[in-house]
């Protein structure tokens, strides 16, 4: 079962000839979720051979242009391609007010429905759920209301030990309860402990996206021990004052959060266009959190079970 993150854009504020503004695609068992939609996102989708039609849910962290200027273009392209299925947008409630006049002017008579899901920017809240996955909005600390997103697989069932199921001649109707952790009681009243009938469930994977935000330990409980954390690192630590003033983080800040949250791997991105040599960012972050990688465009990060 796949669980991966593809980086489409890793720059902050301005697109450059080498880096696009924020955008990522999360693939969970061939269900595709777009996080942020900076300018040029649909070109990056094409370049990375990601089918537009597979994206039905788009999560916008906040309403700064480098995170949403590509949205109206993508909405228009969907209409030109003959989209019929609903498109779900998860963002601050102001997004609908921003998009509506653009859609009315540029995309009259949409053949599909746009459904808005306002995010809660005050406390952690589940904003998407299906039988395999939840997505939780996590309030971040930025100049305007901003949310990060935590993608987490639901707890998986335990694995049956076939030889033990056969040995105790357990009926099929009992198997779901046993996979969920229940003991088995035979017709004679014998209690067979669950650990004798099953092996532990496969690890449920998780990914947290935290951008834009200044250093904030308030997010640590929500992202504790995630498999993969993306945390913005707009500046290096010599510009920490500018980072604080603009509501952003340094590479050192991101590494400190990753370390304190005991995550397995950190991706840093959202780089200021003033930097050409991005190796400086990993040099700074790895001093605190060695399991750090850069959010290079086109890079796919696989999350293993």
Is the bond leading into 214 cis (omega within 30 degrees of zero)?
no
Task: For residue 104, count other CB atoms closer than 10 A to its CB.
Answer: 10
Angle between helix 71-80 and helix 94-106 axes, rounded to 10 deg: 50
Helix (H, G, I), strand (E, B) or coil at 263: coil
Judged by phi (left if over 0) then psi (alpha if -120 to 50, else beta), residue 198 lies in beta
Tell me, yes or no, if 66 is annotated catalytic. yes
Residue 149 · residue 138 · CB < 8 Å:
yes
Of 66, 212, 227, 253, which residue is the catalytic one? 66
**Residue 217: C-alpha distances to residues 88, 229, 240 (Å):** 30, 14, 16
Residue carrying the six token digits 């590479």: 251
Residue 230, classed as helix, strand or coil, is strand
Q: Which residues are catalytic?
A: 66
């Amino acid at each position: 079962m796949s669980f991966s993150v593809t980086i489409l854009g890793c720059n902050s504020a301005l697109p450059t000839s080498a880096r696009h503004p924020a955008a990522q695609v999360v693939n969970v068992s061939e269900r595709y979720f777009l996080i942020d939609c900076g300018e040029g996102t649909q070109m990056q989708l094409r370049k990375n051979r990601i089918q537009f039609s597979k994206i039905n849910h788009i999560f916008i962290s906040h309403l700064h242009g480098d995170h949403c200027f590509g949205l109206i273009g993508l909405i228009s392209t969907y209409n030109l391609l003959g989209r019929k299925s609903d498109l779900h947008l998860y963002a601050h409630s102001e997004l609908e007010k921003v998009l509506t006049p653009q859609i009315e002017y540029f995309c009259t008579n949409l053949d599909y429905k746009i459904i808005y899901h306002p995010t809660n920017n005050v406390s952690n809240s589940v904003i998407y759920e299906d039988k395999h996955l939840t997505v939780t909005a996590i309030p971040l600390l930025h100049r305007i209301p901003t949310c990060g997103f935590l993608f987490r697989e639901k707890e998986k069932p335990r694995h049956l030990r076939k030889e033990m199921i056969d040995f105790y001649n357990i009926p099929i109707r009992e198997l779901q309860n046993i996979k969920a952790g229940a003991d088995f009681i035979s017709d004679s009243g014998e209690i067979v402990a669950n650990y004798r009938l099953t092996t532990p469930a496969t690890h449920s994977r998780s990914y947290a996206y935290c951008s834009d935000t200044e250093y904030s330990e308030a997010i640590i409980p929500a992202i504790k021990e995630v498999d993969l954390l993306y945390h913005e690192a707009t500046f290096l630590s010599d510009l920490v004052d500018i980072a604080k003033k603009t509501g952003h983080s340094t590479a050192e800040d991101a590494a400190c959060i990753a370390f304190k949250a005991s995550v397995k791997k950190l991706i840093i991105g959202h780089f200021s266009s003033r930097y050409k040599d991005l190796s400086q960012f990993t040099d700074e972050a790895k001093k605190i959190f060695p399991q750090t990688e850069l959010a290079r465009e086109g890079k796919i990060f696989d999350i293993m079970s």
